[in-house]
Amino acid sequence: MDLVDYFRDAAYHSLALLSLSTAHIRDLIMSMIFSRDTPSRRALFYALLAFSSLHRSGLHRKTMLFKVAALAALSASAKEASDGLAAAAQHIAACMILCSFEIFLPTENSGDWILYVQGAIEIIQHSRLENKLGYGDNSKLVDWVYYHGSMSRFALFHWRHRYLTMGATSTPTSVVPQMTRYPLWPDKRTASLAKRPACAVLNILSEICDVLLDPSDPKSQEKEYKDRLRALEAKVDSLPTVSSATTALHKPNDELAHTLALYKTAIRVYLARASQNPLEPMADMDSLLDLVYAGSFRHNGCRHFFPLLILSCEARTDEQRASILDLIERTEKNGNVRSMKALRPQVQSFWKQQDLYADGDLVMNYLDVMKAVISSNTSLPSYV
């Protein structure tokens, strides 16, 4: 029980959620592992031990044995998880802890995190869990999956490699599903999420990744495409705030409000840059970035990789870039944040490309450079 206690007291802080407050997920997981013994409960229990062991002692033999045990139980629980709500929730939680395990690895992750997210989504759909949501525990669990699933679209949109599963004949047998071109949830679920600030932000980013075209594509000059970009810009600008769209069960939260504001700014910048701004320039771009650099980036850490990547890439001056590197270092010193060893060189590589284009007085293809930077990872990176 030592590792269980460690998860309850320390390791849970490192679970990647949109909100920095992870206590509600911890409490849900702790209640699940002390329930009736089933394959799905065992999968969750061993996944928790693996994550807790990795967090406390690093990657060693015992950690891997826990992970192997979790995978064996997860395989056994697949049918059970499709038939019952409790088993489905335990199976999904096990998938998400194993996803967190892969992301938290001290070196470049294996990229297998996407498989666990996909597995969780399939169980949600097969068990129809998304149709049984209120604001209770299951809703929090599905929101956790939705966060990782939505953010995976950004990574998959830019990452130029493909995963192959090798069979006995050493020939490719399957590829990781492309999550950029199909809805994570039924339309009804998406419509209900749109009213909730956190999910609305994620939904917009997913939609942008579905719509964006490379500026060299002739279709990017068509009126229909430009109209879609205008509609997306309007959606970003009208995103609800935490204070205006919360209920008594979801009280305003300063930390979440700050996080969503950071995401909104990053998404606005990303849309303007990635579309090469064929419309009128975003008038308040510089003032928005100045607020970020002088405010939250100067005084706080930033554990969310997507806004950190997008807004860091906008740094132009030596002073701004030095403050970004200082921010990354300060954030990384927090023991609850995963390694940023892969993110730091991505940002620096983007700056180098930016400077080369500026020296040559050329217009940089933002999408092309971003894809090259993200594809420098041989495994699929996560930007949660």
Q: Do 242 and 107 belong together in one domain?
A: no
Query: Directed axis angle between helix 137-158 and helix 366-374, to 10°?
Result: 110
Q: Do 233 and 343 belong together in one domain?
A: no
Is the pTM higher than 0.85? yes
CB atoms within 10 A of CB 265: 20
Q: Sorting pLDDT into bands at 50, 70 and 90, what band is 287?
A: confident
Q: Which domain holds residue 347?
A: 284-384
Q: Do 222 and 336 belong together in one domain?
A: no
Q: Do 44 and 177 belong together in one domain?
A: yes
Q: Do 206 and 177 belong together in one domain?
A: no
Quote the DSSP letter at residue 240: P
Q: Which of 109, 201, 107 is nearest to 146 (CA)?
A: 201
Percent of the chain past pLDDT 90, that is, above it, reads: 55
CB atoms within 10 A of CB 179: 21
CA separation for the pair 190, 203 (Å, rounded): 8
18-65: per-residue pLDDT in tens?
886 789 999 999 999 999 899 999 999 999 999 999 999 999 999 999
- Backbone angle region of 277, left / alpha / beta, with phi > 0 → left and psi within -120 to 50 → alpha: left
Q: Sorting pLDDT into bands at 50, 70 and 90, what band is 253?
A: low
CA separation for the pair 307, 305 (Å, rounded): 6
Q: Which of 8, 134, 32 is nearest to 86 (CA)?
A: 32
Task: Decide if 276 is inside a domain.
Answer: no
Residue 250 in this model has a pLDDT that exceeds 50? no
Cα-to-chain-centroid distance, residue 137: 20
Residue 218 in this model has a pLDDT that exceeds 70? yes
CA separation for the pair 276, 223 (Å, rounded): 15
Query: Regarding predicted confidence, which is higher, 297 or 193?
Result: 297
The pLDDT score that the predictor gives to residue 131 is: 66
Q: Do 115 and 22 belong together in one domain?
A: yes
Residue 166: phi and psi, rounded to 5, are -90, 130
Through-space distance between the first and last CA atoms of the chain, rounded to whole angstroms: 29
Q: Which amino acid is at 328?
A: I
Q: Do 58 and 93 belong together in one domain?
A: yes
What is the average per-residue pLDDT within 110-126?
91
Angstrom distances, CA of residue 3 to CA of 55, 101, 142, 337, 339:
10, 14, 25, 19, 21
CA separation for the pair 77, 32 (Å, rounded): 14
Q: Do 140 and 200 belong together in one domain?
A: no
The pLDDT score that the predictor gives to residue 173 is: 31
Helices within the chain (DSSP H only) = 2-9, 23-33, 39-57, 61-83, 85-104, 113-126, 137-158, 187-193, 197-211, 223-237, 254-274, 285-294, 296-299, 305-312, 318-332, 343-359, 366-374
The pLDDT score that the predictor gives to residue 164 is: 40
Residue 201: phi and psi, rounded to 5, are -60, -45
Query: Regarding predicted confidence, which is higher, 284 or 261?
Result: 261
Task: Decide if 104 is inside a domain.
Answer: yes
The pLDDT score that the predictor gives to residue 274 is: 92
Task: Decide if 223 is inside a domain.
Answer: yes
The pLDDT score that the predictor gives to residue 244 is: 45
Computed over every residue of the chain, the mean pLDDT equals 83
Task: Decide if 340 is inside a domain.
Answer: yes
Task: Decide if 315 is inside a domain.
Answer: yes
The pLDDT score that the predictor gives to residue 348 is: 97
Tokens of 225: 């495409």
CA separation for the pair 94, 89 (Å, rounded): 9
Angstrom distances, CA of residue 110 to CA of 114, 175, 246:
10, 15, 37
What is the average per-residue pLDDT within 172-189?
42
Domain count, the chain: 3
Q: Do 186 and 213 belong together in one domain?
A: no
Residue 249 in this model has a pLDDT that exceeds 50? no
CA separation for the pair 195, 216 (Å, rounded): 35
Task: Decide if 293 is inside a domain.
Answer: yes
Q: Which of 63, 127, 60, 123 is nearest to 98 (CA)?
A: 63
The pLDDT score that the predictor gives to residue 167 is: 36
Q: Do 245 and 336 belong together in one domain?
A: no
195-204: per-residue pLDDT in tens?
567 888 999 9
55-80: per-residue pLDDT in tens?
999 999 999 999 999 999 999 998 77
Last residue in a domain, options 236, 266, 296: 266
Q: Do 45 and 152 belong together in one domain?
A: yes
Q: Do 202 and 133 belong together in one domain?
A: no
Task: Decide if 272 is inside a domain.
Answer: no
Last residue in a domain, options 235, 266, 297: 266
Helices within 167-253 (DSSP H only) = 187-193, 197-211, 223-237
What lies within 8 Å, CB to CB, of 375 at 6+ separation is 158, 159, 160, 161
Task: Decide if 100 is inside a domain.
Answer: yes
